[in-house]
Every structure is written in C-alpha cells, then in structure tokens.
Amino acid sequence: MSHTSEIKVRGFHLDIYQHVNNARYLEFLEEARWEYLEETGDIEYFQSKGLAWVIVNININYRAAATMGQTLTINTGLKKIGGKSAVFNQKITVKGTDILVADADITFVVMDQKSGKAVELDGAIKERMTRHLTEQEEL
C-alpha cells in the first residue's frame, strides 16, 4: 500500500538561491509520513500498545530543484520489514510531471516507550506492518 500527499512550495521553504532548501525536504517527507500514519490509524494503534516509530537513518537523493509555487507530490510506501527495523521509501515529484525532485529511504525501529528499546518486528506488529508493504517483499 502506498500513500500520496501534496505540499505547495511557499516562500519560507526557499533558500537564498530561490529553491527549496535541502533541510526542508526532510520536513516534507516527515509531514507525508505523519499524514500516511494518521490515515491508516497506525499512530493510534501503536500508541495504544506503548510503541512509537523512531527514525534511525535517512538516505536522501536530491534530483532536481523545486521552486516557489510548485505543488509537490510525495509518494510514501513501506519498502522492507526486517527483524528490528523497517524501511519507508518516499519519492517527491512535481505534481503533474515525471520530474523527480528527491527520493529517500527512511529506516525506522518500533520502540517500546517504557524501555526506550527497539522491539522485534514479529507477531501482531509485523502483521500490522505487512499490509503497508509496497513490494510485498520482506528482508
């Protein structure tokens, strides 16, 4: 399953070169992941179990400059599930085009909020996460 979000580029997203500052892309990606998790009900589900999704690594490739007034489309999907971590893949394009602005792999763990430690991704947790896989392939 994948999810699509949109963000309009505003003036405060730009740097002195008049394109979106590299750090802003991380915010765009995070906003899209939150929207995805809210719409799927996963935020509430994991919170009710005392669990949180915590980012441990981000690999991002900047492909093209985005500028003020453009609407960006962010496609979010779960790429892989491992024993203790999983990977989201996100792609940012200019809406209505094939222009790839950035793509990223975001690795996260599911953390027990009481212990502060990552939990094994098995049983009900893995079952819940598996429905998000875009490639239906596990690590």
Catalytic residue IDs: 15
CA 59, CA 77: separation in Å to the nearest integer? 15
CA 81, CA 75: separation in Å to the nearest integer? 18
Signed CA dihedral, 126, 53, 86, 109: sign only: negative
